[in-house]
């Protein structure tokens, strides 16, 4: 597989994540609770990954104990992100929820500083400022009546960003030699167990499956828990984390545009400018990393 194909995989994975918000909101509008939507989509994703990984069963032997522990922690982080984010969507517009989630762009830098004591460069501080200012514009800070915005929803949105930041940061530490589908399966096993403890699978016996929940669970499970992790695990090792970080920005415009088109949520010019500023901030944050990697490659040659 060449770098172009790998880049397309990461773009498709980010696009898949971006499509989640409107479908989750549609599931809520269909009368299903956040608990039903969250637990059912993990179970359906687990079943799909079990079938896909079953044909590669021998590759489970390539997982070391440390790999399983780290993949389990990643599963916990993914679970936290899903719980906070999906419940937040029940209190906030999809556009606001996704913008809060994307604060992970600078939270990852903060985590890295506390772990390694490596201070962000001036360029990265500039990127953080762009992202924060862009967020103020994207959430319509100066025009919105904040009495109408749920403070509980805002808190959940921030928690989803922190959990997602931990997930992204720890992903860099994965050294598993097993195929991407196996790694994803291990993560989702842990996630599903935790989800079922937090949100008991009442949908299995309360009739929700027969009322159409299975459709939303299959769609959301595919978009959130099957397609992105598998594509990311296959593509990122070939193109590197810096380029992947830039390509993953595709999630944000896809989420905003899909929320606008599918749900009819209005996005004004100031919000679009804020979204653009956030995207530019994320790109700027990656520029220094990209240059460092290019220098390493040139030194090797």
**DSSP code string of 87-112:** HHTTTS-HHHHHHHHTTHHHHHHHHH
Answer for the pair 24, 86: CB distance below 8 angstroms, yes or no: yes
Q: Degrees (nearest 5) of the Cα angle 42, 47, 50? A: 120
C-alpha–C-alpha distance, residues 138 and 268, integer Å: 9
The mean predicted confidence, pLDDT, of the chain is 80
pLDDT tens-digit map of 35-87:
888 889 999 999 999 888 876 777 777 788 888 888 888 889 888 888 898 78
Percent of the chain with pLDDT over 70: 83
Prediction pTM value = 0.78
C-alpha–C-alpha distance, residues 229 and 153, integer Å: 26
pLDDT of 219 reads 92
Give me the residue label for tokens 């079943």. Answer: 47
Contacts of 144 (CB under 8 A, 6+ apart): none
Contacts of 182 (CB under 8 A, 6+ apart): 53, 56, 59, 60, 62, 63, 176
Handedness of CA 259, 260, 264, 266 (dihedral sign): positive
Helix (H, G, I), strand (E, B) or coil at 176: coil
More confident residue, 298 or 65: 65
C-alpha–C-alpha distance, residues 251 and 11, integer Å: 8
How many Cβ atoms from other residues are within 10 Å of residue 65's Cβ? 7
Number of H helices, E strands in the chain: 14, 0
pLDDT of 239 reads 67
Q: Quick one: average pLDDT of 256-270?
A: 81
Alpha carbon 224 to chain centroid, angstroms: 8
Q: Is the backbone of residue 150 left (phi > 0), alpha (psi -120 to 50) or beta?
A: beta
C-alpha–C-alpha distance, residues 185 and 69, integer Å: 13
Helix (H, G, I), strand (E, B) or coil at 63: coil
CA distances from 272 to 44, 106, 247 (A): 35, 20, 19
Can you point out the beta strands (E) in the chain? none
Domain limits of the chain? 3-300
pLDDT tens-digit map of 108-123:
778 878 887 777 677 7
Q: Quick one: average pLDDT of 156-174?
A: 82
Residue 250 in tokens:
């595709």
């Amino acid at each position: 597989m060449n770098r172009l194909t790998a880049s397309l995989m990461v773009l498709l994975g980010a696009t898949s994540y971006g499509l989640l918000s409107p479908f989750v909101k549609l599931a809520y509008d269909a009368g299903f609770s956040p608990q039903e939507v969250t637990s059912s989509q993990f179970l359906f994703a687990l079943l799909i990954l079990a079938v896909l990984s079953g044909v590669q069963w021998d590759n489970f032997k390539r997982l070391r104990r440390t790999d399983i522990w780290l993949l389990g922690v990643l599963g916990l982080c993914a679970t936290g992100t899903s719980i906070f984010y999906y419940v937040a969507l029940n209190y906030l517009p999809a556009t606001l929820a996704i913008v809060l989630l994307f604060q992970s762009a600078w939270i990852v830098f903060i985590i890295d500083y506390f772990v390694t004591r490596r201070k962000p460069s001036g360029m990265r501080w500039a990127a953080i400022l762009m992202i924060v200012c862009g967020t103020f514009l994207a959430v319509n800070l100066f025009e919105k009546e904040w009495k109408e915005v749920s403070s509980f929803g805002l808190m959940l949105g921030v928690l989803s960003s922190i959990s997602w930041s931990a997930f992204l940061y720890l992903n860099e530490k994965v050294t598993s030699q097993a195929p991407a589908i196996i790694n994803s399966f291990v993560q989702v096993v842990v996630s599903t167990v935790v989800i079922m403890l937090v949100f008991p699978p009442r949908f299995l016996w309360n009739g929700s499956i027969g009322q159409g929940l299975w459709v939303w669970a299959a769609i959301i499970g595919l978009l959130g828990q099957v397609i992105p992790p598998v594509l990311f695990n296959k593509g990122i090792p070939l193109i590197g984390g810096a380029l992947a970080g830039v390509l993953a920005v595709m999630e944000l415009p896809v989420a905003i545009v899909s929320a606008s088109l599918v749900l009819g949520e209005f996005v004004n010019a100031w919000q679009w400018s804020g979204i653009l500023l956030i995207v530019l901030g994320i790109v700027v944050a990656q520029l220094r990393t990209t240059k460092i990697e290019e220098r390493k490659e040139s030194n090797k040659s």
